[in-house]
């Protein structure tokens, strides 16, 4: 058995989990509602304040999906109760970030500003304090969408290994390289 898959997901207070006939799991909580389609082979059972997942066989495909869907539903339960937050830092001279609603305006050292539209499910805030790098804070109840949008923003200017300039996650440790060695 999958160690992750066989562990039940606890349903916290204020959260309701329901499974429809076509294997769509709906999680409702104080922060919102999320839906996830589950493969028809995996059986989802809601009982006694827990969500349990049962797989039919020990095929590699079934074992992989068993743990995957358990993790996805667990992330959904945590998302509708607490939510998720990710912070990005812009490291570099002249790098700026500003937002108007869900439109993010980035100056990342290119000849033009990059205008990036954030999905409406995410909340965005930008901050630029004197003596500190500009920061972008994204909040959402959907962990998958949050990670995908953060990865897309980071890919606009990945941190380079010599000076560390670029868009990086807050607290991310970059592997630095030594520059040219001098002569002899």
Residue whose C-alpha is closest to residue 98's, from 151, 149, 136: 136
Does domain 84-169 fall under CATH 3.90.930.12? My reply is yes
136, 153 Cβ separation under 8 angstroms: yes
Task: Return the H-helix or E-strand segment holding 75.
Answer: helix 60-81
Q: What's the pLDDT at 179?
A: 84
Distance CA 139, CA 134 (A): 17
Give the pair of three-digit tokens for residue 158: 């990945």
In the sheet that 32-37 helps form, which strands lie side by side, from edge to edge? Answer: 16-19, 24-29, 32-37
Q: What's the pLDDT at 2?
A: 60
What is the chain's pLDDT, residue by residue, as a tens digit (184 residues)? 468 888 888 998 889 999 998 889 999 999 999 999 999 888 999 988 899 999 899 889 998 899 899 999 999 999 999 999 999 999 999 999 999 999 999 999 999 999 999 999 999 999 999 999 999 999 999 999 999 999 999 999 999 999 999 999 999 899 998 888 765 5
69, 42 Cβ separation under 8 angstroms: yes
Give the domain 9-81 fold: Outer Surface Protein A; domain 3 (3.90.930)
- DSSP class of residue 11 equals P
Q: What's the pLDDT at 180?
A: 84
Distance CA 37, CA 25 (A): 6
The residues spanned by each domain of the chain are 9-81, 84-169
φ, ψ for residue 64, nearest 5 deg: -65, -45
Residue whose C-alpha is closest to residue 5's, from 78, 49, 57: 57
Query: What pTM value is reported for the model?
Result: 0.87
């Amino acid at each position: 058995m999958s160690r992750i898959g066989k562990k039940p997901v606890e349903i916290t207070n204020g959260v309701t989990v329901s499974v429809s006939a076509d294997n769509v799991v709906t999680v409702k909580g104080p922060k919102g509602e999320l839906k996830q389609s589950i493969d028809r082979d995996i059986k989802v059972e809601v009982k006694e304040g827990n969500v349990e997942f049962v797989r039919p066989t020990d095929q590699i495909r079934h074992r992989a999906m068993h743990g995957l869907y358990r993790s996805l539903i667990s992330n959904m339960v945590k998302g509708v109760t607490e939510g998720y937050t990710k912070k990005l830092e812009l490291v570099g001279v002249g790098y700026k970030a500003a937002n108007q609603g869900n439109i993010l305006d980035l100056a990342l050292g290119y000849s033009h500003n990059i205008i990036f539209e954030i999905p409406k499910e995410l909340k965005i805030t930008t901050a630029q304090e004197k003596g500190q790098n500009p920061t972008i804070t994204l909040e959402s109840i959907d962990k998958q969408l949050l990670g995908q949008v953060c990865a897309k923003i980071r890919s606009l200017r990945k941190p380079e290994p010599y000076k560390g300039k670029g868009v990086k996650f807050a607290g991310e440790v970059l592997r630095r390289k030594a520059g040219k060695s001098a002569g002899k």
